[in-house]
Amino acid sequence: MHAATILAQLDHVTDPSTGGLVPSIHPSVTHARQGSDIALGYARSGNSGAALVESILIQLEGGAAAAAFGAGAAAAQAVLATLRPGDRVLIDSGLYYEFGRIIGAFAQRFGVGLVRVDLCDPDAVARCLATAPTRLVWAECPSNPLWRVPDLAALAALAHRHGARLLVDATAATPVLCRPLTLGADLVLHSATKYLNGHGDLVAGVLVAAEDDAWWHEMLAAREAHGSVLPPFEAWLLLRGMRSLALRMERVSETARALASWLALQPQVRAVHYPGLLQHPEHELARRQFKGGFGGMLSFELGDSAAAIALCSRAKIFRLSTSLGSPESLIEHRRSTEGEASDCPPGLVRLSVGLEHQDDLQADLRQMLCAEGLKRMREAAILQEAAAPVVAVGLCSPPRP
């Protein structure tokens, strides 16, 4: 069955007591046993809403088990809880900065070895895995904020050859576009706060495992011990948001690809990072791994931080904010968000493309870039002590086909 059908019907959900086609909210902390039936038990272990989220994600990802959490970070912490002092973890050199900070602090505190490597370079990964025993390879597909695409099948084969497991954070792709478990990954992580929910009104996370094994049960035990199960009300909101996931991913993928193609033609833009562009270094790989689009996230570069900050401040439709996956489109200067320790390009602008009309978003980007172009021409004119007035020819003309 197609993902869109599973999501629209929430796996044919029917309330057993009323016949309603919307799942009920069951906030009860504990549950009575009825005869020989096994009750849900204590709420710290789960609830009916979280169980339905998990059941749907198992189907979408092609997994054996799933667990819903109160945050994407809580899901990540459940995985980290399975590591022991002396274990070694490979992470991507361009890993999302916030998780890099979290896992870095964890590794330092608990004596876990942390090695950064370009996971889009299989040869570099192979050399790194050969140097010492490794417990886990932690990848993103695509990576944030440069949207690189690692070869998941190759990474899984390399990890397994050296006795390691492969975890893939597929938050930006969602199971509608990419299913890492079918490519050999052992575990998929989603910050369900983002696209799975899609409405910017809750915090949640999900893990989906390829096998229901002892490693998986360590994560479940960590969730119960930490009390980080997804609560009933948040589970209900997440289920409501997931109904439209397939349609939303189709829309944002279409709009993001059009905007990325247009941005690549603008003289003020030095580079555009989007897997759907032919010039993207992993475009062909992305075409094989992604089905139905390349997602709604893209980045582009201007000359320096000052230019990027000024451009973002001129946004009228895009909202100047961090996060992704909500109906409204967002823009941010990434280095300002990440701080001085950031290693992303100084002029990088990150876009989360939402559900607005493509023409309006493009018009907003055009007016931002036109102002940047005029500023650069004026500065050049002053430096050259030009006598004649500067005319901004072509800077605001319609995009070339």
Q: Convert 339-368 into a string of H (helix), E (strand) and C (coil).
A: CCCCCCCCCEEEEECCCCCHHHHHHHHHHH
Choice among 87, 92, 169, 364 that is catalytic: 169
What does each C-alpha distance from 112 to 73, 92, 234, 330, 387 come to in angstroms?
Answer: 18, 16, 33, 36, 64
Active-site residue, 243 included? no
Rounded to whole angstroms, the Cα distance separating 191 from 193 reads: 5
**375: buried, middle or exposed (CB in 10 Å: 19+, 13-18, 0-12)?**
middle
Choice among 165, 179, 194, 257 that is catalytic: 194
Q: Between β-strands 271-273 and 330-333, what pairing exists: parallel, antiparallel or unpaired? A: unpaired
Which H or E run includes 68?
A: strand 65-69
- Region of residue 41 (phi > 0: left; psi between -120 and 50: alpha; otherwise: beta): left
Rounded to whole angstroms, the Cα distance separating 76 from 69 reads: 10
Active-site residue, 194 included? yes
Length of the chain counted residue by residue: 401
Contact 82, 219 (CB under 8 A): yes
For residues 266-296, one letter each, b for 16 or more C-beta atoms within 10 angstroms of the residue's C-beta and e for the rest, the string is bebbeebbbbbbeebebeebbeebbeebbbb
Rounded to whole angstroms, the Cα distance separating 330 from 28 reads: 37
Q: Is 226 helix (H, G, I), strand (E, B) or coil?
A: helix
Rounded to whole angstroms, the Cα distance separating 302 from 334 reads: 12
Active-site residue, 169 included? yes
**For helices 122-131 and 152-161, what crossing angle results, to 10°?**
20
What does each C-alpha distance from 239 to 19, 200, 209 come to in angstroms?
Answer: 17, 14, 20
Choice among 96, 97, 195, 274 that is catalytic: 96
| β-strand partners of 208 | 66, 188
**309: buried, middle or exposed (CB in 10 Å: 19+, 13-18, 0-12)?**
middle
Q: Cite the active site residues.
A: 44, 96, 169, 194
